[in-house]
A and B are shown apart, each in its own frame.
Chain A
């Protein structure tokens, strides 16, 4: 019974190249499927159930590590990765083989030799895969606060970096966002913004006003337990209502 394999890589030249190299080193091996992303890899695998899966780690959508998890030990996995220092370290400690791009023929020969032997008692790959998946995630930790405000300016939607925003002020229907380059109206309410903006930088000072702390020049106490916020380099004065004036008590 011939051994079958699946190759997954988003770069077509590399898929072809690996196939050629395998054909030279292991002519009996039959490559039954080529996948260009993780989703396709899982679909083709479920359809054709090959014995071996060569998985590129970095693929759009579902990546190679997630594919390996989905395979859940139903095939022998060989990861293919470009210079990813952390991944290489992880592989060296784990019970799974890996190849580094560009693939060195001697190294591939070694892998082929291992694959031709019956599989050693496989310790569970899950912990290794979990660690790898986590490392891949860590490369771009998700932020929980808004980093951009989307505002219609003319015919297009502008993305304003949150560090440029000076203040936000709402009237009945819309909220005005002000930044050094201009002003625009957005649909989000002050309440939504107060929830989504970083509270270390943005402070609500009024039912309808949020101001960015670094843009405050000074605060003037007024009568009736209210206050006014004066901004750096701008003439607007923002009102602080009674319910929020306690925030400035220390000044």
Chain B
């Protein structure tokens, strides 16, 4: 696996920031300042330009250093923009002072004693301060804009990711349903019953039809009632019991008052299929499956419990479960929950909690 490039050291980042763009702009400002100030200065334009250029470049350097000053070294009460401002404000007079001291060859009294030089000092300092602060503030604004844009992009990315998830879930729902393995195994059993002339053939075929009809994506209504869903679950369990009568028993115990409630299609079936496929089927001795539902005040509890092999803590959570959770929440809101518990003495219990519905939903 490729290791990412090590992040640039602060020094390298600083040097990178002093690119032609910023150097060019700085030189431009220095040149303009020198042009504007030359009428009031005694010294030649070239000298003046030299001074303004030096101060300008110094300010550029100080600005960039302040912007890249490591956050850990900044006291918590000092925001970076203030730090930068103070640094630039200090650098202007100090830099100009340095220029003048160099000009007088280090003889400070020649500087402080000379009126024109002092005036020059103040003029350049003030010009530098004004221009410097103006540029610093503009840079801050641009950075804030850039950050806002980055955040917006991130939010957009998140949004499109959520949309993609929703689309994927819908697609999975459309494609999932009838597993060939299940279908052909069941048909083989039906064939056995038919050829042996068993009277069980007819009711089994009815269950199979009920299951297939409900499981065909194109024929699916997006919502059905809990009663419809239980009919589907019963058909499935009857088929599975025909196939493995010695290894599976089941019982359905749902409060009749709940049957009229709207319920997302195939939702409970997902849990029952998981219970059979991953709980009961892998075990040589199988187990039993309980499907139940009760009112809890005005909320509803539904459960599918199996006494099978249980869930290993390294077992891949199926996309079925994840999708089911999203579907329940899309249908009932954030209050809908899907929880898994260990069943005692063994097996798994999946519980759906539906929050209290408003009168209009309950019909």
Contacts and interface: CB of A to CB of B under 8 A. Distances in A.
A37 B284 contact: yes
B242 interface: yes
Contact of A144 (B188, B195, B314): B314
A103 B190 CA distance: 12
Interface in A213-251: 221, 223, 225, 250
A145 B315 CA distance: 9
A116 interface: no
A43 to B, nearest CB: 12
Contacts of B191: 17, 102
B314 A83 contact: no
Given A20-B196, A60-B284, A158 B339 contact: yes
**SS class, residues of chain B in contact with chain A:** mixed
A142 interface: yes
A145 B314 contact: yes
B196 A61 contact: no
B341 A159 contact: yes
Contacts of A37: 284
A199 interface: no
B184 A83 contact: yes
B245 interface: yes
Interface string B273-287: 000000001111010
Interface residues of A, number: 42
Most chain A C-beta atoms within 10 Å of own C-beta, residue among B71, B282, B316, B341: B341
A18 to B, nearest CB: 9
B185 A17 contact: no
Interface string A48-82: 00000000001011000000000000000000001
A39 to B, nearest CB: 7
Nearest to B245: A12
Interface string B174-194: 000000110111011101110
B189 A148 contact: no
A132 B337 CA distance: 40
A97 interface: no
A83 B317 contact: no
Given A61-B284, A158-B341, A13 B72 contact: no
Contacts of A125: none
Contacts of A183: none
Given A11-B243, A39-B284, A83-B180, A147 B192 contact: no
Interface string B292-336: 000000000000000000010111110001000000000000000
Contact of A13 (B243, B247, B314): B243
A144 B286 CA distance: 27
B196 A17 contact: yes
Contact of B316 (A147, A157, A221): A147
Given A61-B284, A84-B181, A17 B340 contact: no
A176 to B, nearest CB: 18
A36 B243 CA distance: 12
A142 B184 contact: no
Contacts of A159: 311, 313, 339-342, 348
23 contacts: A10-B244, A13-B189, A14-B192, A60-B247, A60-B286, A82-B180, A82-B185, A83-B180, A83-B184, A101-B184, A101-B188, A102-B184, A143-B315, A143-B316, A146-B314, A147-B316, A148-B311, A148-B315, A148-B340, A156-B342, A156-B349, A157-B342, A250-B7
Interface of B: 7, 71-72, 76, 180-181, 183-185, 187-189, 191-193, 195-196, 242-247, 281-284, 286, 311, 313-317, 321, 337, 339-342, 348-349
Question: What 7 pairs across the A-B complex have the smallest Cβ distances?
Answer: A17-B192, A102-B188, A101-B188, A83-B180, A159-B340, A157-B342, A82-B184
